[in-house]
Amino acid sequence: MPELRATLRRLQLRLRGERSGYVLMAPYLLHMAVFFGYPLLFAFVLMFHRWDIVTPMEFVGLKNFVRLVRDDLFFRALLNTGIFLTIHIPMQIIVALFFAELLNRPLRGRGFFRAAYFMPVVVSGVVITILFQQLFAFDTGLINRMIRALGGEPVPWLVSPALAMPSIALMATWKNVGLYIVLFLAGLQHIPKHLYEAAELDGANAWQRWWHVTLPMLNPTMVTVVVLSTIGGFSLFIEPYILTGGGPLNATLSAVLYIYNQAFYFNHMGYAAALGFCFALVIFVVVLLQRRFVETDTWS
């Protein structure tokens, strides 16, 4: 009889587990259905309609997409994001690796330096952007004043269409690189010492050890940096919004800024949703390609 009671008890607990599983999961699932599921489905409805929120929606079929493939500004935003990423990602990796390598040496005050480099990461993008608005200013900006004091020509950071996006990429690197220093540093500290010893026994010099041991072992971190930076590049908003308003000559128009303009300046909700869908598609493909070409199977 005690066995039967124990079995019953276990069954009871199991049933309770089943029921409480649903009960505990319910608030999350409900929220997900309303604030993720519904918007996701509605995005697919909205992009085939014309809608200004006030008057009723009007079905327009593929018109939004026909318009999109002819929209210079859509491609301009893609190009701008591309420019941003080709500068931002390599610069981020090089600077972060450089400082991570330095901080991986035995030295005093390592925590202090790490904490100082990390500071821009936690501060609001609004603060960083207002700060750089002043640093980048052509006549009065701190950077150009320094350049002039050293006898150089002032740089048209945000004024020149060719330089505006690279300047924003520089600023974004300055803001984010502290996070990647920390990630690379953690990666470096997890590389087993015996790999270096083995490489040394095989006659590899310092550079070869770095190239054949360190770099492959950091690959997972590298993938993280590349993917996070890519998503960040497509989400740029407050930086051009404050610094340039998307100008000069649309040179800093970003994906999110363009969606924002279409939706809230022109009230083109349907077109903005179509833009969102296409940008999301591009992000998906780009991240997939990056994973394919950056990720290597060093572990097996």
Partner 1 sequence: MRRLLLYLILGIGLVVFAYPFVWMGIATFTPEAEIPELTLLPSRWTLDHYRLVFERLPVWRGLLNSLVVALAVTASVLVFTSMAAYALAKLHWRGRETVFSIILFTMMVPFLLLLIPLYTLVVRLGWTDSLLGLIVPFMMNATGVLILRQSFLTIPRDLIDAARIDGCGELRILFTIVWPLSVPALVTVGLLTFIGSWNEVLWPIIVVREVQWMTLPQLVALFAVGGGAEGQLGPQLAAAFLLALPIVLAYLFFQRYFIQSFATGGLKG
251-280: contacts with partner 1 (CB under 8 A): 255-256, 259-260, 263-264, 269, 272-273, 276-277, 279-280
With CB under 8 A as the contact rule, which of the stretches 85-93, 100-108, 197-205, 211-219 interacts with partner 1?
Answer: 100-108
For the segment 221-240, give every residue that binds partner 1 (CB under 8 A): 224, 228, 231, 234-235, 237-238
Q: Is 28 in the site for partner 1 (CB under 8 A)?
A: yes
DSSP codes, 133-190: HHHH-TTT-HHHHHHHHTT-PPP-TTTSHHHHHHHHHHHHHHHHHHHHHHHHHHHHHT
- Positive or negative, the CA dihedral 261, 265, 266, 272 is positive
- Residue 58 pairs in a beta bridge with 50
Distance separating the N- and C-terminal Cα atoms of the chain = 53
Out of 62, 94, 116, 206, which residue is the one contacting partner 1 (CB under 8 A)? 116
Q: Is 249 in the site for partner 1 (CB under 8 A)?
A: no
| 103 versus 168: smaller Cβ distance to partner 1 | 103
Q: Are 243 and 136 in contact (CB under 8 A)?
A: yes
CB of 225 to partner 1, least distance (A): 9
Out of 60, 67, 104, 113, which residue is the one contacting partner 1 (CB under 8 A)? 113
Task: Report the C-alpha gap between 154 and 238 in whole angstroms.
Answer: 25
For the segment 171-190, give every residue that binds partner 1 (CB under 8 A): 174, 178-179, 182-183, 186
**Interaction pattern, residues 48-87, with partner 1; x per rule: CB under 8 A:** -----x----------------------------------
Look at residue 12 and give its three-state secondary structure: helix
Tokens of 157: 């950071």
Task: Report the C-alpha gap between 234 and 131 in whole angstroms.
Answer: 22
CB of 271 to partner 1, least distance (A): 9
